[in-house]
């Protein structure tokens, strides 16, 4: 007897075992897809995890439905990596599988209904059942949708069930391949017309069909220009031919057609050489290469504009020349249009981008190309999920902007950190890791100090540009002395004016979107709340509506307060939209642009704003933290931060570290050319140590102070954290369950349990939320902690009353 263990794309704790026959056993390899029955009448696509000969003890294994691949789609080393992710982040392999594989590769099943030919007794049927029975006399199969149409009603499952019980019908699960290869149709002249002396004969034949004659002539013209392959559609289109003429030629077998499978995305050839490095860059490259002889991980700590990308390019080139693969991780792919076009100029066709905004089919093609180690998929640029791709010759992983939060996936599971998972992947594949950033995360810098990672510094900007001068503006003083216009201090306004007069551009940074996030009634003090979430609605002036940023709820902006009925609703606070309006009034002759989540939702919206800013069609660009990410504009002389305090006061143990990173990054957008740029930060706390450290670009002091605080308050990198989130629609049930869980965890972990507590937003999409945090002291085993937690979780879920409560575990929830 032969068996396979299969990973199903479900949150199951265990793998399921299926039976296979000898022939299948000889054919099946780990990593192939198989379609298997699971549950009642359901078929799933799973991945073969293991083949063996041990029959499962507690159940009788079913047979597989079919094998879906000729070759493994997933490599053994991917499975090993997934296993690590599942263990470390405490989720199932199925959940990792779901995150890892483009869903087009996971076939779906559809229920087909066929007649049971042994059934004869029509009298047993109700009128509705008879309609279906009758339909099956004329059609071989029906599906649920069709049955619904025949009966013109939505709920048809009870009728299907009754038909099944009466043995009138049988059901069949049919699988559909969702990935559709792109087939391009080409034409060529049929063999027996190829000889040159037959051309005249051919044209004579077509004398009475001028359109066909023209098509043939065009064909020879195109051929004469040395075009080898002639795609049908574009041949007709570019030559403005009649499609019917070409079709007739195909019918007469003068032309013949054939198809070739093509990739949906293709790139041009490289156009530029990799730039020659300047002296500090050369030095840094040399240090990285030397470090890689001893260590597997290096951090390039280079200030903004120092030219880290150019150093990566040299390392990439080296790996490419050996035919190896490189993974280039970026925090957010939507923000990398500049980077990708730069890499494309250097490396041309060897780049593949793995992009969540690409279609499923496009993603499948990237997957297949990497799996086959095709030359067009050697340099892979992607956001966090690119760590799941089927690399087999991985040589180098670059983690650009290593400190960025978007490397962490918060929902759904697997709640992994792509930087950390990349390090494990690299180790497994004997590849090197290079992280680059101007503002390393505290964890990474701590690892440098512990000599786990090598540190390479790059302290000069490229060219003659120097870091901008940073100036703090005291808002309380400015308000007191009435030196404010709207949200702008006099100082900031005069600098904006100066830049605009010099025909230079300005970036203004406000860490909030919308016009005035919160609407409050001046009479009763109440703010309109989202009906589904415990959060105040945000006012969006442009559409004159209130919106929930958590669940997407929208409502018309009310004229009167919904609580006290007075017409005294007021807008408080301010966001990017408000700034844009104020600026339009202050500078009516200038072009003001805005970039935030609301203006960049379309596929190319982001790209459009960036290019028009780059083309200097926009003078002042207002935006949220999106603006801080890796963009490179040559004509920006001034960056303004409207209010640094919201960031600094954010209730999170990383708020200070994050503020430092964000402010240094936004400042980095100023003054990239000859002239020194200027940064103005408005704040009510100009003495705040973080703002002082930003001003002096003093990473070291920031690091030391923050590290001390983390030690004192028992936070990472010293104490590790695991967060447990419980969710349920019934508040009382949730409280009981959360208290039970808190008690049980305290039995093991004593004072190292925080909570249960409600998060800042205590209810989202009608589910109440309770959080618990486990702190893991430095000397405590993380592995044992997780084992204990699993025990408690299993116990929790075995209690009937708690079974319906959602239980999420987030390891390293920061």
Q: Phi and psi (nearest 5°) for 287?
A: -65, -35
| 553 lies in the site for Zn ion, by CB under 5 A | yes
Three-class secondary structure of residue 341 per DSSP: helix
Give the separation between CA 562 and CA 48, rounded to whole angstroms.
Answer: 58
Contact partner, 548, from Zn ion, ligand ADP, none, Cβ < 5-8 Å per class: Zn ion
Alpha carbon distance 444, 433 (integer Å): 13
Q: Is residue 550 part of the contact set for Zn ion (CB under 5 A)?
A: yes
Pairing of strands 351-354, 379-382: parallel
Closer residue to ligand ADP in complex, CB, 305/686: 305
Query: Which residue's CB is nearer to ligand ADP, number 73 or number 397?
Result: 397
Q: What are phi and psi of 326, to 5 degrees?
A: -130, 135
Q: Which of 179, 39, 35 is nearest to 109 (CA)?
A: 35
Pick from Zn ion, ligand ADP, none: which does 462 bind, CB < 5 to 8 A by kind?
ligand ADP
Closer Cβ to ligand ADP, 177 or 459, answer by number: 459
Q: Which is nearer to ligand ADP, 17 or 667 (CB)?
A: 667
Asked if residue 530 binds Zn ion (CB under 5 A), the reply is yes
Shortest CB 579 distance to Zn ion, Å: 25
Q: In this complex, which beta carbon is closest to ligand ADP, that of residue 312 or of residue 539?
A: 312
Could you tell me the smallest distance in angstroms from the CB atom of residue 755 to Zn ion?
A: 23
Nearer to ligand ADP, 256 or 632 (CB): 632
Exposed e or buried b per residue across 468-480, where buried means at least 16 C-beta atoms within 10 angstroms of its C-beta: bebebbbbeebee
532 close to 521: Cβ distance less than 8 angstroms: no
Instruction: Identify the burial level of 717 via C-beta atoms within 10 angstroms of its C-beta, where 0-12 means exposed, 13-18 middle and 19 or more buried.
Output: middle
Spatial CA neighbour of 115 closest among 99, 100, 135: 135
768 or 814, CB closer to Zn ion?
768
Distance of closest approach, residue 540 Cβ to Zn ion, in angstroms = 14
278 binds, among ligand ADP, Zn ion, none (CB under 5 to 8 A by kind): ligand ADP
Residue with nearest beta carbon to ligand ADP: 307
- Beta strand 62-63 with 16-20 is parallel
551 sits near Zn ion (criterion: CB under 5 A): yes
What's the min distance (Å) between Cβ of 342 and ligand ADP? 7
Cβ burial, residue 266 (10 Å; 0-12/13-18/19+): exposed
> What Cα–Cα distance (Å) separates residue 686 from each residue in 91, 267, 327, 681?
45, 49, 41, 9
Residue given tokens 């002036």 in the structure block: 541
* Contact in structure between 367 and 390 (CB atoms under 8 Å): yes
Closest contact distance (angstroms) between CB of 533 and Zn ion is 3
Residue 729 Cβ vs Zn ion, minimum distance, rounded to whole Å = 14
Distances (CA, A) of 125 to 147, 165, 523, 768: 16, 11, 67, 47
H or E stretch covering 279: helix 279-294
331 binds, among Zn ion, ligand ADP, none (CB under 5 to 8 A by kind): none
Q: Please work out, in degrees rounded to the nearest 5, the angle formed at the alpha carbon of residue 168 by the alpha carbons of 164 and 172.
A: 60
Q: Which stretch binds Zn ion (CB under 5 A): 251-259, 386-394, 527-535, 587-595?
A: 527-535
Cβ count near 28 (within 10 Å)? 19
**Nearer Cβ to ligand ADP (75/441):** 441
Closer to ligand ADP at the Cβ: 306 or 813?
A: 306
Q: How far is the CB of 401 from ligand ADP (least distance, A)?
A: 9
What is the contact mask toward Zn ion in residues 459 to 478, using x (rule: CB under 5 A)? --------------------
Report d(CA 327, CA 431) in Å as an integer: 10
| Min dist. Cβ of residue 61 to Zn ion (A) | 45
Smallest distance, Zn ion to C-beta of residue 47, A: 37
Give Cα 446 to chain centroid, integer Å: 28
Residue numbers 765-784 binding Zn ion by CB under 5 A: none
Cβ atoms of 509 and 549 within 8 Å: the answer is no
Report helix, strand and coil shares of the chain as percent, to nearest 5.
Answer: 40, 25, 35
Question: What are the angstrom distances between the C-alpha of 605 and each of 352, 405, 594, 616, 618?
Answer: 22, 23, 11, 17, 15
Exposed, middle or buried, 269 (CB in 10 Å: 0-12/13-18/19+)? Answer: exposed
**Quick one: how far is CA 192 from the chain centroid?**
54
Distance CA 776, CA 723 (A): 11
302 binds, among Zn ion, ligand ADP, none (CB under 5 to 8 A by kind): ligand ADP
By C-beta, is 460 or 599 nearer to ligand ADP?
460
Closest among 714, 719, 689 to 704, alpha carbons compared: 689
End-to-end Cα, the chain, rounded Å:
47
Partner whose binding site includes residue 550, from Zn ion, ligand ADP, none (CB under 5 to 8 Å by kind): Zn ion
Query: For residues 439 and 785, which CB has a smaller minimum distance to ligand ADP in the complex?
Result: 439
Q: Is 633 left (phi over 0), alpha (psi -120 to 50) or beta?
A: beta
Q: Of 289 and 490, which CB lies nearer to ligand ADP in the complex structure?
A: 289
Q: Which of 83, 532, 689, 780 binds Zn ion (CB under 5 A)?
A: 532
Residue with tokens 């068996």: 3
* 304 interface partner picked from Zn ion, ligand ADP, none, CB below 5 to 8 A per type: ligand ADP
User: Counting contacts by CB under 5 A, is residue 292 touching Zn ion?
Assistant: no
Q: With contact defined as beta carbons under 8 Å apart, do 613 and 633 qualify?
A: yes
Q: Considering CB distances under 5 to 8 angstroms, the limit depending on partner class, which of ligand ADP, Zn ion, none binds residue 186?
A: none
Contacted entry of ligand ADP, Zn ion, none for residue 316, CB cut-off 5 to 8 Å set by kind: none
Compute the least distance from the CB of residue 575 to Zn ion, in Å. 18
Cβ nearer to ligand ADP, comparing 113 with 300 = 300
Q: Nearest distance from residue 636's CB to ligand ADP, in Å?
A: 12
Q: Which does 632 bind (CB under 5 to 8 A by kind): Zn ion, ligand ADP, none?
A: ligand ADP
Residues that bind ligand ADP (CB under 6 A): 275-278, 281, 302, 304-310, 462, 632
Determine, following the binding rule CB under 5 A, whether residue 529 of this chain makes contact with Zn ion: no
Does 299 bind Zn ion (CB under 5 A)? Our answer is no
**What is d(CA 232, CA 184) in angstroms, rounded to the nearest whole number?**
8
DSSP 504: -
Pick the closer one to ligand ADP by CB: 102 or 440.
440
Reduced to 3 states, what is the DSSP secondary structure of residue 488? Answer: strand
For the chain, how big is the Rg over CA atoms in Å?
32
For residue 277, the partner it binds in ligand ADP, Zn ion, none, with Cβ less than 5 to 8 A by kind, is ligand ADP
Return the one option of ligand ADP, Zn ion, none that residue 307 interacts with (CB less than 5 to 8 A, by type): ligand ADP
Nearer to Zn ion (CB atom), residue 360 or residue 551: 551
What tokens were used for 207? Answer: 């004398």
Give the number of residues in contact with Zn ion, rule: CB under 5 A: 7
The least CB distance from residue 600 to Zn ion, in Å, is 21
Nearest approach, Cβ of residue 436 and ligand ADP (Å): 7
List the x/- string, 476-515, binding to Zn ion by CB under 5 A: ----------------------------------------
530 binds, among Zn ion, ligand ADP, none (CB under 5 to 8 A by kind): Zn ion
Smallest gap from residue 334 Cβ to Zn ion (A): 24
User: Measured from the CB atom, is 150 or 557 closer to Zn ion?
Assistant: 557
**Which of the ranges 95-103, 134-142, 547-555, 620-628 carries the binding residues for Zn ion, by CB under 5 A?**
547-555
C-beta of 340: minimal distance to ligand ADP in Å? 13
- Asked if the bond preceding 465 is cis, omega within 30° of 0, the reply is no
Per CB under 5 A, residues contacting Zn ion are: 530, 532-533, 548, 550-551, 553
């Amino acid at each position: 007897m032969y068996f396979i263990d299969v990973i199903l794309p479900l949150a199951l704790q265990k793998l399921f075992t299926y039976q296979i026959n000898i022939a299948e056993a000889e054919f099946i390899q780990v990593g192939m897809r198989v379609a298997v029955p699971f549950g009642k009448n359901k078929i799933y696509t799973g991945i073969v995890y293991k083949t063996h000969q041990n029959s499962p003890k507690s159940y009788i294994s079913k047979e597989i439905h079919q094998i879906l691949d000729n070759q493994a789609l997933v490599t053994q080393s991917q499975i090993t990596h997934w296993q690590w992710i599942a263990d470390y982040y405490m989720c199932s392999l199925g959940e990792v599988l779901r995150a890892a594989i483009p869903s087009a590769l996971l076939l779906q099943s559809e229920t087909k209904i066929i007649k049971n030919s042994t059934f004869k007794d029509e009298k047993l049927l109700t009128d509705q059942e008879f309609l279906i029975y009758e339909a099956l006399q004329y059609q071989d199969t029906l599906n649920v949708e069709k049955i619904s149409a025949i009966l013109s009603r939505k709920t048809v499952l009870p009728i299907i069930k009754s038909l099944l019980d009466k043995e009138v019908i049988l059901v069949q699960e049919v699988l559909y391949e969702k990935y559709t290869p792109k087939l391009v149709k080409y034409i060529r002249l049929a063999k027996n017309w190829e000889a040159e002396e037959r051309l005249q004969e051919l044209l004579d034949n077509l004398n009475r069909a001028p359109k066909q004659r023209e098509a043939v002539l065009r064909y020879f013209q195109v051929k004469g220009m040395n075009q080898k392959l002639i795609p049908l559609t574009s041949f007709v289109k570019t030559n403005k031919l009649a499609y019917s003429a070409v079709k007739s030629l195909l019918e007469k077998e003068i032309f013949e057609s054939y198809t070739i499978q093509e990739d949906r995305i293709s790139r041009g050839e490289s156009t530029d050489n990799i730039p020659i490095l300047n002296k500090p860059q050369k030095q840094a490259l040399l240090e990285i290469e030397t470090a890689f002889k001893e260590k597997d991980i290096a951090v390039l700590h280079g200030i903004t504009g120092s030219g880290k990308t150019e150093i990566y390019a040299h390392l990439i080139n080296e790996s490419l020349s050996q035919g190896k693969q490189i993974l280039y991780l970026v925090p957010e792919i939507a923000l990398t249009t500049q980077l990708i076009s730069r890499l494309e100029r250097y490396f041309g066709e060897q780049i593949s981008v793995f992009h969540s905004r690409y279609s499923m089919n496009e993603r499948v093609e990237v997957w297949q190309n990497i799996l086959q180690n095709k030359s067009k998929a050697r340099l892979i640029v992607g956001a966090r999920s690119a760590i799941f791709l089927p690399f087999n010759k991985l040589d180098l992983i670059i983690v650009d902007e290593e400190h960025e939060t978007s490397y962490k996936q918060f929902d759904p599971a697997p709640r992994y950190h792509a930087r950390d998972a990349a390090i494990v992947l690299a180790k497994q594949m004997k590849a090197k890791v290079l992280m680059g950033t101007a503002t390393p995360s505290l964890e990474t810098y701590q690892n440098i100090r512990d000599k786990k990672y090598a540190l390479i510094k790059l302290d000069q900007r490229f060219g003659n540009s120097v870091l901008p001068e940073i100036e703090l503006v005291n808002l309380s003083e400015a308000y007191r002395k009435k030196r404010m216009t709207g949200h702008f201090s006099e100082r900031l306004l005069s600098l904006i004016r100066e830049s605009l007069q010099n025909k230079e551009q300005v970036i203004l940074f406000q860490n909030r979107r919308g016009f005035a996030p919160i609407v409050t009634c001046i009479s009763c003090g109440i703010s309109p709340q989202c009906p589904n979430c415990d959060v105040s609605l945000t006012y969006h002036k442009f559409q004159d509506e209130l919106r929930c940023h958590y669940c997407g709820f929208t409502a018309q902006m009310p004229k009167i307060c919904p609580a006290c009925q007075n017409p005294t609703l007021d807008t408080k606070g301010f966001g990017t939209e408000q700034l844009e309006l104020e600026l339009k009034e202050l500078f009516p002759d200038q072009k003001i642009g805005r970039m935030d989540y609301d203006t960049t939702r379309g596929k190319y919206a982001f790209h459009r704003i960036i290019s028009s800013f780059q083309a200097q069609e926009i003078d002042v660009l207002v935006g949220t933290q999106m603006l801080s990410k890796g963009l490179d504009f040559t004509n920006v002389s001034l960056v303004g931060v409207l209010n640094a305090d919201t960031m600094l006061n954010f209730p999170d143990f990383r708020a200070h570290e994050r503020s430092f990173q964000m402010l240094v990054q936004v400042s980095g957008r100023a003054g990239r050319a000859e002239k020194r740029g200027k940064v103005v930060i408005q704040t009510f706390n100009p003495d705040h140590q973080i703002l002082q450290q930003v001003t002096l670009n003093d990473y070291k002091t920031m690091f030391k102070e923050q590290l001390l605080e983390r030690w004192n308050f028992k936070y990472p990198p010293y104490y590790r954290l695991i967060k447990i989130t419980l969710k349920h629609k019934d508040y009382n049930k949730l409280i009981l369950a959360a208290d039970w869980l808190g008690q049980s965890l305290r039995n093991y972990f004593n004072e190292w349990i925080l909570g249960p507590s409600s998060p800042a937003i205590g209810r989202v999409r009608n589910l109440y939320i309770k959080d618990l945090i486990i702190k893991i002291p430095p000397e405590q085993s993380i592995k044992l902690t997780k084992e204990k937690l699993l025990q408690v979780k299993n116990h929790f879920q075995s209690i009937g009353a708690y079974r319906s409560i959602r239980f999420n575990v987030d390891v390293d929830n920061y």
